[in-house]
Amino acid sequence: MRVPFYDIKSQYDELQQPLDEAVHAVLSSGSYSMGQNHNLFEQELAALHQVKHGIAVNSGTDALRIIMDAAQIGRGDEVITSAFTFVASVETIVQTGATPVFVDIDPATFNIDPKLIEAAITPRTKAIQPIHLFGQLADVAAIGSLAEKHGLSVIEDAAQAISSTYQCVPSGNFGIGAAFSFYITKNLGAAGDAGLILTNDDEIAAACRSIRVHGMGRERYYYDHIGYTSRMDEIQAAILRVKLTKLQEWNQRRAEFADIYRERLANAAVMLPKVSSGNNHTYHQFSIRSERRDALQAHLKDRGIDSMIYYPVPIHFHEPYRGFGSGPGSLPETEKAAKEILNLPMHPHLSSEQVEYVASAIVEF
Ligand SMILES: Cc1ncc(COP(=O)(O)O)c(C=O)c1O
């Protein structure tokens, strides 16, 4: 049996007619930029997360960068985050001129360990950026209290956490702004790049709206900020609105597959991902740990099963980022996770038989 890691084409097959119609409607309308789909998608995502403002942009990376610009994070500031992430979480901090300060992760959830944050706060700290990795929120309660105590902003990197919740409150409600990604492989994926900012803060929302279009103010060709060209294409918004109708059903399938993995692997010699109290997990990834990770991955490959390593090298090990952080050995849990993590096939178009097959291959190993 073959078990692919992702299966994007099946999303199209399932929704072929409405997707074709939506794309064709955009093409024939002649309205390709910031049209009706774009505006409705902003409202739909804001409503889904019970957040006041949605601002569509052209990637999750831009969403992070624009929130930071709107919050006036820049040279001289420090932003606390994790090094166990996709590089965009950190490159955007560096691009503002601010310094990323890395805090180690909780080995059971892969999210920033809130117990270690306070020791990293200095007079220069301006924000904490938790990354809600793999579909589960970081410890937003603890992070929120620390931020309040020290007068810091929280910026959520929610790229992997669409509709994930803590105590039934969705991502997007735990800071001054949250960045979402609709990269192809995400739980809600465009046919290319797209992203979104959610915020309950009117001033941040207004600044983000301006910065995404060159910093333009209410009047055309008058500029209030230094900005970017970061509009979400109308065609991507139309595609995302069609796929959005399936998001809850697709997430439900992910949850069912996660249950199968958990049940079948309960006694296997691998560590299963922990869901923290109060959290739901939308399983963007199902991430296990094994001290014999590379051999396990090879064993799965021999049986036609694809798996991935997110993330093989912590950010503070990469050449451009070596100047930040304290080098190898400084983030022991991050560094250990990079050696042990293995992400199993997890997408809505798997069959339960495929998931059972993956689990048996792991048990066999
Ligand atoms: C944790 C994290 N942050 C930020 C991003 C950036 O999103 P995008 O690829 O849409 O720019 C991604 C996704 O790729 C991500 O996984």
Domain boundaries along the sequence of the chain:
9-101+111-244, 247-364
* CATH topology (fold) of 247-364: Aspartate Aminotransferase, domain 1 (3.90.1150)
Query: In this structure, how many other beta carbons lie within 10 angstroms of the beta carbon of residue 319?
Result: 6
Cα 23 to Cα 11: distance, rounded to the nearest angstrom = 15
83 Cα to the center of ligand 1, angstroms: 14
pLDDT digits (tens, 9 = 90+) for 104-126: 999 999 999 999 999 999 999 99
For 277-324, the pLDDT digits (tens) are 999 999 999 999 999 999 999 999 999 999 999 999 999 999 999 999
* Residue 61 Cβ < 6 Å to ligand 1: yes
| Fold annotation for 9-101+111-244 | Aspartate Aminotransferase; domain 2 (3.40.640)
User: Rounded mean pLDDT of the chain?
Assistant: 98
326 pLDDT more than 90:
no
The pTM of the full predicted model, rounded to 2 decimals, is 0.98
Q: Tell me the best of 57, 65, 82, 86 to mutate to test the pocket of ligand 1, counting ligand atoms within 8 Å of each CB and taking the most.
A: 86
Q: Whole-angstrom Cα distance, residue 177 to residue 196?
A: 10
Mutation test residue for ligand 1: of 87, 181, 184, the one with most atoms within 8 Å of CB: 181
Percentages (nearest 5) of helix, strand, coil residues in the chain: 40, 15, 40
Measuring from atom 8 of ligand 1, which residue has the nearest CA?
A: 60
Written as one string, the DSSP assignment of 238-300 is HHHHHHHTTHHHHHHHHHHHHHHHHHHTTTSSSBPPPPPTTB-B--S-EEEE-TTHHHHHHHH
Q: What is the pLDDT of residues 9-28, one digit of tens each?
A: 999 999 999 999 999 999 99
d(CA 156, CA 84): 15
250 lines ligand 1 (CB under 6 A): no
Closest Cα to residue 72, out of 168, 202, 208? 208
Average pLDDT estimate for 63-91: 98
Q: 136 CB less than 6 Å from ligand 1?
A: no
Q: Is the separation of the CB atoms in 116 and 334 below 8 Å?
A: no
pLDDT attached to residue 334: 98
What pLDDT was estimated at residue 310? Answer: 98
What percentage of residues in the chain have a pLDDT greater than 70?
100
Q: Is the pLDDT of residue 364 over 90?
A: yes
Cα of 269 from ligand 1 centre, angstroms: 31
Contact 158, 171 (CB under 8 A): yes
How many angstroms separate the CA atoms of 236 and 22, rounded?
10
